[in-house]
Amino acid sequence: MTEVRWAPQAADDLAAIRDFIARDSVTYAHAVVSHLFAAGQQLERFPDSGRVVPERGDPEIRELVRPPYRIVYRRRAQLVEVLTVHHAARPIPGDIGAAGGTA
């Protein structure tokens, strides 16, 4: 089984998503973040289930799309590092997945 690690940026992203949604509904905020986290954890069993991020074209940088969010991760051997959870309407930052960096 593949190990899944959440980069600090990805954890911060989930917290920001939760806080933003919680302004209107704490219940819905919890549901959305739980759904996103569970999607990321599916990578333990299915690390190649995401597609290659089109903006990068690097087979190690992949994403799961859970509208309206993109869960961007780096796939290496028996490790998946979730790099960011990003709203699909925004462009992926240029430094996501850069050698040695996550954000």
CATH architecture of 3-87: 2-Layer Sandwich (3.30)
Q: What is the mean pLDDT of each run of 10 residues along the chain (103 residues)?
A: 95 97 98 96 94 91 96 94 93 70 42
Per DSSP, what are the bridge partners of residue 76?
79
Instruction: Count other Cβ atoms within 10 Å, centred on residue 90.
Output: 9
Tell me the C-alpha distance between 46 and 1, whole Å. Answer: 9
Q: What is the pTM of this model?
A: 0.88
What sign does the CA torsion over 15, 91, 82, 45 have? Answer: positive
